Amino acid sequence: MAASRLPPDALTLKQFLQRQRVLGMYRDLLRSIRKVPNESDRRYLRDWAREEFKRNKSETDQDVVRMMITQAHNHLEGLRKSLALAGC
């Protein structure tokens, strides 16, 4: 069997797909945060999101990452509902 041409630290397909989900969630959060009318609230939420994702970027346990994606999704839905109630 021939040796793999992939670098030894290449992501598996599962890791790659999970990474894409995380990046998509991050983009969705930032897009929704842009709709917050108050500038100081918008800045606070943007800093919070950046810090949370930065703090957890080295997590490799796929179950833990899946749980964090679920939590981020819940936060995103809560933000969207709040914005809808505010008429934004």
> How many other C-beta atoms can be found within 10 angstroms of the C-beta atom of residue 42?
14
- pLDDT band of residue 9 (cuts 50, 70, 90) is confident
- With a pLDDT cut of 70, the percent of the chain lying above it is 94
User: Residue 3 has what pLDDT?
Assistant: 64
Q: Is 70 exposed, middle or buried (0-12, 13-18, 19+ CB in 10 A)?
A: exposed
Place 10 in a pLDDT band, splitting at 50, 70 and 90. Answer: confident
The rounded distance, in Å, linking the Cα atoms of 25 and 73 is 7
**E strand or H helix at 1:** none
Single pTM value for the model: 0.80
Tokens (6 digits) for 9: 């630290």
